[in-house]
C-alpha cells in the first residue's frame, strides 16, 4: 500500500471534518503521518495501539528524524498533531487505547519527608474528598500546612516524632516546589 492509496477509517475522517474543522489538505497530511507511523510499528514488530502514546510518538519521531536526516522538532510536531488527533478520534469511536500521557503520581514531586507525611495523613484521615461517617472524626489530624509551619517555627501542633525534622535551613523542608 502506498501513501497515495492509504485510507483512514471514514468515520474518523468524518469526526475530523465535523469536530476539528479539518480541510482535505490537512487530512491528507494526517494520513501521511499515520502511514509513516504504521510502517514504523510494522517494521519493528510493535503493537500500534501500544505505541499510540506521546512516548511512542516521540520514539517514532526520533527514529524517523534520524533515519531521514530531518529536524526532530519538525517531525515530532507533525506526527504529534496527526497521531494524537487520530488516537482521540479512535477513542471517540469506542476503541480502547492507552492514555496519551500516563497519569503521574502527585506525591512524586514532594520531598521524601513531605511524601511520607502525606501518606501518614491519608492513612489517618482518609481521603478528604470521600468523607464517610467512619472517617469524619479523623479531621483532627495535623494538616500539611500545620506540619510545615510547625517545622518553621519549632512549635505548632503535635506531630508524630518520626516527622520531627532538624535541619539548619527550613527551606530544605519547605521548598516552594513542594507546596
Q: Kindly state whether residues 44 and 87 are assigned to the same domain.
A: yes
Pick the more confident residue, 173 or 124: 124
| Residue 53: count of CB within 10 angstroms of its CB | 19
Q: Is residue 1 part of a domain?
A: no
Report pTM: 0.57
Q: Is residue 2 part of a domain?
A: no
Q: Is residue 144 part of a domain?
A: yes
- How large is the average pLDDT for residues 12-30? 83
pLDDT tens digits, one per residue of 42-64: 999 999 999 999 999 999 999 99
The answer to whether residue 179 scores a pLDDT higher than 50 is no
Q: Kindly state whether residues 117 and 51 are assigned to the same domain.
A: no
Q: Could you give the CA distance from residue 122 to residue 136 in angstroms, rounded to a whole number?
A: 13
DSSP string, 79-129: HHHHHHHHHHHHHHTT-----SSPPPPGGGGS-HHHHHHHHHHHHHH--TT
pLDDT given at position 139: 53
Pick the more confident residue, 142 or 43: 43
Q: Is residue 97 part of a domain?
A: no
Q: Could you give the CA distance from residue 31 to residue 7 in angstroms, rounded to a whole number?
A: 7
pLDDT given at position 36: 92
In a 3-state reduction of DSSP, which class is residue 42? helix
Do residues 99 and 53 make contact, with C-beta atoms less than 8 angstroms apart? yes
The answer to whether residue 26 scores a pLDDT higher than 60 is yes
Q: Could you give the CA distance from residue 160 to residue 146 in angstroms, rounded to a whole number?
A: 12
What mean pLDDT, rounded, does the chain reach? 76
Q: Which residue segment(s) compose the domain that 83 sits in?
A: 10-92
- Grid coordinates given for 92: 471517540
The answer to whether residue 175 scores a pLDDT higher than 70 is no
- Buried (b) or exposed (e) across 1-10, using 16+ Cβ within 10 A? eeeeeeebee
Q: How many domains, in total, are found in the chain?
A: 2
Q: Could you give the CA distance from residue 47 to residue 96 in angstroms, rounded to a whole number?
A: 13
Q: Which of 92, 114, 137 is the last residue of a domain?
A: 92
- How large is the average pLDDT for residues 144-168? 55
Amino acid at each position: 500500500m502506498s501513501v497515495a492509496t492509504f485510507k483512514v477509517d471514514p468515520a474518523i475522517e468524518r469526526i475530523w471534518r465535523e469536530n476539528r474543522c479539518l480541510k482535505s489538505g490537512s487530512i491528507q497530511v494526517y494520513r501521511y503521518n499515520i502511514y509513516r507511523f504504521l510502517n514504523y510499528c510494522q517494521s519493528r514488530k510493535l503493537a500500534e495501539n501500544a505505541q499510540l502514546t506521546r512516548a511512542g510518538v516521540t520514539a517514532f519521531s526520533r527514529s524517523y528524524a534520524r533515519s531521514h536526516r530531518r529536524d526532530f522538532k519538525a517531525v515530532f510536531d507533525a506526527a504529534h498533531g496527526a497521531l494524537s488527533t487520530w488516537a482521540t478520534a479512535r477513542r471517540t469511536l469506542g476503541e480502547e487505547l492507552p492514555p496519551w500521557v500516563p497519569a503521574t503520581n502527585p506525591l512524586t514531586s514532594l520531598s521524601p519527608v513531605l511524601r511520607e507525611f502525606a501518606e501518614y495523613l491519608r492513612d489517618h484521615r482518609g481521603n478528604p474528598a470521600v468523607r464517610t461517617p467512619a472517617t469524619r472524626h479523623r479531621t483532627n489530624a495535623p494538616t500539611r500546612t500545620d506540619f510545615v509551619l510547625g517545622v518553621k517555627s519549632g512549635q505548632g501542633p503535635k506531630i508524630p516524632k518520626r516527622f520531627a525534622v532538624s535541619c539548619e535551613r527550613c527551606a530544605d523542608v519547605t521548598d516552594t516546589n513542594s507546596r
